Amino acid sequence: MSECNGNCSSCGQKGNCDSELKKLEQNKNSKIKKVIGIVSGKGGVGKSLTTASMACAFRAKGFNTAIIDGDITGASIPNIFGLESGIASDGESMIPAVTKTGIKAISINLLLETPDSPVVWRGSMLSNVLKQFWTDVHWGEIDYMFIDMPPGTGDIPLTAFQSLPIDGIVIVTSPQDLVSMIVKKAYNMAKLMNIPILGIVENMSYIECGDCGKKIYPFGEGKADKVAEELGVPLLAKIPINPAIAKACDNGSIEDIVNPDYQQAVDMIIKILK
């Protein structure tokens, strides 16, 4: 069988392929306007932090905002927001947890007996959970939904791209020399699936000296500018290493941190998606 290129309409296996998925309907009690996937070509680049920070920045602008924690085996959104209680039900649908600023969120960690219980499931089960987070949750009216994807280009990103009405993705990377490969993996997958690329966020870009304000580049000066220009997509933000933000994530108090570095990114995304 030839490699899937994500375009079911022109495929010779059309109508006879397990990968040919229809866009899923929203829950009857949901009205989700825009869906943004946060992706990366590899792990450890701060994808979940970017998801949380983006959601906080959009919420601070007054938008109804929500997060699907799609990284089923490495869920961290509840920890970042300090969410500990389980998911409620209205008898028909799951009711998402709500953060203290009003961001709605769902994660497998809110359904497990304990948050450190391992999720030892095959890819098809993981993908089904993602789909249930879309169809079986009473989201209400949401302006911007963020999906925190697992790293790489495996089952869950493929399911999301084929099954959910994603309006665009944000690619998260870091400043190391691997940046070109990392970004291009995510970029090329999105292109195959006909998903718009909203832009790139370079995380852990630099450290700002607290005394003189000088920028220090512990991983070398990033190459995201060059890659963004090469691919013809915006560089949304360069995010510094900030110990206060790391501490807030550990304490579940990310919403207490005002992160101006995401403000330009938010404005650019709103403009692109209009």
Question: Could you give the CA distance from residue 66 to residue 15 in angstroms, rounded to a whole number?
Answer: 34
Structure confidence at residue 151 (pLDDT): 80
> Is residue 95 scored above 50 in pLDDT?
yes
Count CA atoms within 13 Å of residue 182 on its CB side.
25
- pTM for the model: 0.88
Span 225-271, pLDDT tens digits: 888 999 999 999 999 999 999 899 999 999 998 888 898 899 999 99
Check: CB of residue 126 under 8 Å from CB of residue 156: yes
**221 vs 106 pLDDT, higher one:** 106
Check: CB of residue 150 under 8 Å from CB of residue 107: no
Instruction: Report the share of the chain in percent with pLDDT over 90.
Output: 47
Backbone angles phi, psi at 264, to 5 degrees: -65, -40
Separation of CA 214 from chain center: 31
Please state the rounded mean pLDDT for residues 58-84. 93
The DSSP secondary-structure symbol of 241 reads P
Backbone angles phi, psi at 94, to 5 degrees: -75, 145
**193 vs 143 pLDDT, higher one:** 143
- 17, 84, 97, 151, 208 from 74: Cα distances, Å: 29, 16, 18, 10, 30
> Is residue 3 scored above 70 in pLDDT?
no
∠ at Cα 138 (135, 140), nearest 5°?
115
Residue type, position 115, single letter: P
